[in-house]
Structure formats: structure tokens, C-alpha cells
Amino acid sequence: MEDGKIASLKTLEVVFKVAERCNINCTYCYFFNAEDDGYKYNPATISQETVESFADMLRVARDELGLQTAIIDIHGGEPLLMKKARFEAMCDTLIALRNTGLSIELRLQTNAMLVDEGWIEVFSKYDIGIGVSLDGPRAVNDKYRLDHSGNGTYERTMAGIEILQKAVSEGRISPIGGLAVVDFAASPEEVFDELAIKAGIKNFDVLLPDRTHDSLSQNEEEIASDFLRRIYKRWVTHADPDLRIRTVATVLNELTWESDGLRADGEFWKNYQAITVSSAGEMGPDDILKVVPMPLFKRNQFNVSNRSLKDFLNSKLMLGLRTESKSLPSDCEGCCWRNVCKGGDLYHRYSRANGFKEKSVYCKAHKDLYSTVATNLLSSGKRYEVILRSIGLE
């Protein structure tokens, strides 16, 4: 890498926006209800021509960058709004890249409301990893995850999960994952029990709301801290070694140097990049950055039909974002967790006044979670020196 430019890349993760419409209207949705309204100008669903251009771009990236693996997150909107025949044609095009030496992994994020036997056959045929969005029990989920008539979606999502879990039990698809956006008024224990026990999801994550320094309300950071610590403690008491909460697993990994590909300064992340590709084929940075009021997703600039991945990754936009993400905010100096936290998620550091140079709005929440996990590790027999070495203080 010269002057911050990328000359090689092993792993690319793509938020592949195959449907830019949704069958529900989550009030907190960063895609439809945040600062960016680019979806209005893009096709409702991706065309096969754009899929083929995307596949061609990956082939070129294999030659230009030495790309080895593409993790394709089939996303929306709601991706199951695509017709099954068109969806299968897309998957055929993508998995054909394996014949060129590329490793292709297909994942899909859904609200599960449209899942039926036909979709199970598609998921099984293409070995697609499924993640379901469910925020918790009915009262929690239906607070924000509403359909376009204002009705709750819990029952329909749980019906889809039931179909998926039956297919898992039959060995037709891999175990499903889950994703819950944190409601600060919800009980962490109830959210955990809903996903882990009632829905039977063994691998899920809890996402703190997409706040910036301009949108975080008073006391929310303290509430976030309490939520993370309590859901961690519920995971400990549940004592299921096969159950994984990604946020917790990441902290455990950071504090023990256990290699599962998550360590922020490990070889995996040095050779990894995440981007977004819209239904129109436009390339942009990580999709979650739509929550910040900056022109990061420009139209008619970098399209898979006429620009290479290498050009995009080395554009002024992407070089600038990489520089920002690697630059610790001044508030991080002197913090014992700085080597593992790395300043937190970039969008949580944003303010209109100072761009991405602020500390994370959830700084205290993450510090408290690290402290809680470290204390528990020590009480469980983990050597003090291991944790010191992990945080760079030995």
C-alpha cells in the first residue's frame, strides 16, 4: 500500500442492495428514514444486467487486486421482494464466479415475513446464510417495526422464523442468525430470551441505535451501557457454549487474543474492505454511513458497469474515510481500551461541527462493557497478563 492506496485485497464484503423497497416501514430505518434518500432514484429491484456487471467487476478485482473472497450480503429494503426466478438467476451468476477461483459466500438479511417453502428451496439450493431482523418480544418489536399500515410485524416475522427453523432442523439450510436493534426502554434479559430461547437463534447481535453527536438524547449513553452489561450477564448465566452474541464475542476475542477473524488489528481486517452496491450498480462506502448528513453516496460516479473496484477503493472519498477510521479521536488518548476499541464505529463519531473527529457517542457504554467482561474473565481464571497484553499495556 502506497500513500494509503490499496494495491491488493483478500476479502471484500458487499452490502448488495438487490431491493430498494420494503414491505415494512421501520421508523428507525437508516436506509429509508435517515439523511440519505438515494433509494428514490434507484430501481425497486436490481436488474440481471447490473448483476452481471457486478460479477464482471469482481472478476477484474481478482486480477487487479488479487481478490480471493467476496462475501455478498443480499440486502434491501426487503430482498425477498424479488421474484424467485430473477433471484435464482442472480445467484447463478454470482456462484459461477467460483469457477474463476473466487470464493463466494452468499448471505441474506430479511424480516422473514415473506418466507415460504419456495424460498426455503432457494436458500437450500444456493447455501445462503440467513439473518432475521427481530428486535425482541412483541411489545418491543412492534414499537418500531411496523408495516405500511402501521400494524405490528411480530407475528408474521415469528411465522417466518418457524418455517426457517423447521428447515434448519431438517438439515436443509444452515442455522439462522438474528439481528436486534436496541430499544433503550426494553429489558435486555427479555430481548435475549426472545431471540435465544423462544426464536431459538444461536448466533445473533444487538445493535445500538444509529446515533451521532447530533442525535443522541440525554441519558441514552448511560442506558446503552446498562443494556450491554446486562445482556452480557444474561449470556453468562444462560451458559450455552454454542450461543454467540457477536458484540460479546468480539470483546472476548479482543481481550484474550483468541483468533476467530474478529480482532480489529489482525490480518483479517488488514485485508478486508466493506462497500455497498445499490440496485442501480452504484458503489458506495459501508451502507450504515447513510445516517450521517454527508454526500458519501453520490450517483453517476462509481458504477459497477464502468468503474473498477480498485478505482473506487482508491478514490478520494474512500481514502478519506479510511484515514478518518484509523485516526483516533483526541479523547481516546490515555484510554486503556484504545488499542482494542480503535475509537468505535465511524458513524458514531460524527458531528456536524467536527465530522468524524469526536469520540464515539457510546464511548462509556463500550468502556463499561470491556471492564465488565475483563473482570469476569479474571474471576474465571484468565491470567491477568493475557488481558494486559491484549490491550497493549504489557
Same domain, 369 and 221: no
Residue 145 located in a structural domain? yes
Residue 5 located in a structural domain? no
Cross-strand pairs, 110: 132
Q: State which of 270, 302, 319 marks the end of a domain.
A: 319
Residue numbers of the domain that contains 207: 11-319
Exposure string of 104-131, with b = 16+ CB inside 10 Å and e = fewer, is bbbbbbbbbbbbeeebbebbeebebbbb
Q: State which of 266, 291, 319 marks the end of a domain.
A: 319
Residue 276 located in a structural domain? yes
pLDDT in tens, 127-172: 999 999 999 999 999 999 999 999 999 999 999 999 999 999 999 9
Same domain, 230 and 347: no
Residue 348 located in a structural domain? yes
Same domain, 140 and 279: yes
Listed in sequence order, the residues at least 6 apart from 159 whose beta carbon sits closer than 8 Å to its beta carbon are 112, 113
| H-run or E-run covering 203 | strand 203-207
pLDDT at 329: 93
Q: State which of 267, 297, 319 marks the end of a domain.
A: 319
pLDDT at 341: 86
Query: With left for phi above 0 and alpha for psi between -120 and 50, is residue 290 left, alpha or beta?
Result: alpha
pLDDT at 183 over 90: yes
pLDDT tier at 322 (50, 70, 90 boundaries)? very high
Instruction: Give the span between the Cα atoms of 135 and 130, in whole angstroms.
Output: 16
More confident residue, 40 or 240: 240
Do residues 244 and 235 lie in contact, with contact meaning Cβ atoms separated by under 8 Å? no
Residue 3 located in a structural domain? no
- Number of domains within the chain: 2
Same domain, 169 and 277: yes
pLDDT tier at 83 (50, 70, 90 boundaries)? very high
Same domain, 341 and 210: no
Same domain, 261 and 171: yes
The one-letter code for the residue type at 222 is E
Same domain, 382 and 290: no
Alpha carbon 158 to its chain's center: 21
pLDDT at 1: 42
Residue 35 located in a structural domain? yes
Same domain, 283 and 385: no
Same domain, 83 and 201: yes
Between the CA of residue 41 and those of 20, 87, 161, what are the distances in Å?
10, 21, 32
Does this model's pTM top 0.75? Answer: yes
Same domain, 369 and 237: no
- What CATH number does residue 236 fall under? 3.20.20.70
Same domain, 288 and 351: no
Same domain, 130 and 195: yes
Listed in sequence order, the residues at least 6 apart from 140 whose beta carbon sits closer than 8 Å to its beta carbon are 183, 186, 190, 191, 194
Instruction: Give the span between the Cα atoms of 140 and 206, in whole angstroms.
Output: 13
pLDDT at 4: 74
Residue 363 located in a structural domain? yes
Listed in sequence order, the residues at least 6 apart from 319 whose beta carbon sits closer than 8 Å to its beta carbon are 4, 5
Residue 4 located in a structural domain? no
